[in-house]
Amino acid sequence: MHKCIHCLGTFKTGRALEYHIVIKHPEVTTSVTRKIHQCPYCSFRTFRKEKLQTHLLKHPDAVANIKLIECEYCNDVFRRNTSLGDHMIQNHPEHMSGVTCKIYECPVPTCNYRTTTKYNLVKHMPTHPNITNYKVNTCPVPTCNYKTTTKRYMVSHMKTHQDDKSSSCVHCNAIFKQRKSLDDHILKKHPKFVESVKRVIYECPYCPNKTVYKWKHDDHLLVHPEAAHKLVLLKCMHCESTFKIKRELDDHIVRKHPEFMASVTRKIHQCPYCPYRTVKSTLDKHLMKHRDDVSSTKLRTCRHCNKSFKQKESLDNHMLKEHPEFTESVTRNVHQCPYCPYRNVRKVALDRHITTHPEADSSITLITCEHCNKSFKRKQSLHDHIIRKHPDFISSVTAKIHECAHCPYKTMRRNDLKLHETTHHDASTSQ
């Protein structure tokens, strides 16, 4: 073990120790033997040049100097030549001769897979289990088909199985894929048994709310006005818009400031039928606008009947309702109603269902508005109430807010916004 002489930290490798010194003790980096890459705009430092390049995208001055590479056959732009090359291979194979970087080809004669990075080729090889040139690691769990050529990925994957024996709550019939989800369930539904939870518990300083997820804790704090006032909003450097989370800011830049798209570090999803782009994994929902085009996309078919579904979630719910004897094939968390056999993979659907049971009324924890005495069964209803009745505290609303372009009207429901605009602004927009 390598010990830090400046604190009590211990590390398995000298490399990890040096990284610790650069991050935690920047004033004594003279003992570091590796090359340090320094950001010219702030105090950020790293050993890896590619990390510095990614970090620089946070600075507008650096972004202005980044030259995006545009595909000459469509409107897509890329930061790296390898990304453009992969795009050409997948979307413009007839122009593949124009790819300037090295192309790695799958060695299987019947496979046409090509890529510009060896990393992608290694990830692809598990699709050919008979190839001996690449060692394929197969998950030892009999019911799991996961395979990978990268050992560390297998180590990470096996963590999803380590809690299989503890996936059922001993106090009710709820089933969970991971122990962490079960622990969070115990905190909320069985607080008398909180001592069985061994991991870190995040407690709200303003109410009894507890969770084992830090992101849920941070999200919950926004319900309290005293916490919302302390919230540091992320401001767009290109306009006056502000956002609570980085993902929303990135999505805003993609849509409103595409010329600064190079500053977005997340994966950008491109609609194949229109210029729409997003950093969120909600492209499937957008594709529903292209109904004629989407009708030709691949559907997920139930292997036990002839029904087809556009989303895996819908197929899973179908399995629970129509083929309960094959429930083990459902990969998502299954939420069980404690009052009847109803099950669903969407917790929000279960919560909505439980309100139909009169006996559940006494056990449902109502959410009280901090600004008046009204109570609500669902967080969404509370947020909608805050938007309409307490607009001064709108920063405490964590869900996406849809705003009317013609008046101050706001709502959490996109359909309500469409109805509002049709009812109140049809005449003004047509003039």
**Residues 321-356 pLDDT 10s:** 888 888 777 767 788 888 888 989 888 788 788 878
Q: Is the pLDDT of residue 431 over 50?
A: no
| pLDDT, tens digit, 9 for 90 and up, residues 360-405 | 766 666 788 888 888 887 777 888 888 888 888 887 777 778 888 8
Report the share of the chain in percent with pLDDT over 90.
1
| Per-position DSSP letters for 99-137, written without gaps between them | --S--EE-S-TT---EES-HHHHHHHGGG-TT-SSSPPE
CB-based burial, 126-151: b 16+ in 10 Å, e otherwise: bebeebeeeebbebeeeeeebbbbee
According to DSSP, residue 327 is labeled G
281 pLDDT tier (thresholds 50, 70, 90): low
Which pLDDT score is estimated for 167?
A: 63
Share of the chain residues as helix, strand and coil, in percent rounded to the nearest 5: 45, 10, 45
Tokens of 61: 């001055």
Question: Which CATH code for domain 367-430?
Answer: 3.30.160
Q: Does domain 2-56 have CATH number 3.30.160?
A: yes
Q: Are 328 and 311 in contact (CB under 8 A)?
A: no
Which pLDDT score is estimated for 428?
A: 47
Tokens of 297: 């996309």
Q: Is the pLDDT of residue 172 over 60?
A: yes
Query: Radius of gyration of the chain from Cα atoms?
Result: 26
| pLDDT, tens digit, 9 for 90 and up, residues 181-220 | 888 889 988 888 888 887 888 888 888 889 998 878 877 8
Which pLDDT score is estimated for 50?
A: 75
Q: Which sign does the torsion angle of CA 291, 293, 294, 296 carry?
A: positive
The span from the first CA to the last CA of the chain, in angstroms, equals: 74
Residue ranges in 99-161 assigned as alpha helix (H): 118-124, 151-158
DSSP E strand stretches across 155-219: 202-203, 210-211
Report the share of the chain in percent with pLDDT over 70.
86
* Residues paired with 137 in a beta bridge: 148
Tokens of 186: 């115990």
CA distance 164 to 155: 16
CA distance 42 to 228: 28
Query: Would you kindly state where each structural domain of the chain is located, as residue ranges?
Result: 2-56, 69-158, 164-221, 236-360, 367-430
Higher pLDDT, 287 or 368: 368
Cα 411 to chain center, whole Å?
23
164-221 and 367-430 agree in CATH topology: yes
Mean pLDDT across the chain, nearest whole number?
A: 79
CA distance 179 to 176: 7
Which pLDDT score is estimated for 126?
A: 76
CA distance 346 to 351: 9
Q: Is 416 left (phi over 0), alpha (psi -120 to 50) or beta?
A: alpha
CB-based burial, 78-92: b 16+ in 10 Å, e otherwise: bbeebbbbbbbbeee
Average the pLDDT over 104-124 and give the result.
85
What pTM, to 2 d.p., does this model score? Answer: 0.34
Higher pLDDT, 429 or 270: 270
Q: Which sign does the torsion angle of CA 109, 114, 119, 124 carry?
A: negative
Which pLDDT score is estimated for 231?
A: 65
Q: Does domain 164-221 have CATH number 3.30.160?
A: yes
162 pLDDT tier (thresholds 50, 70, 90): low
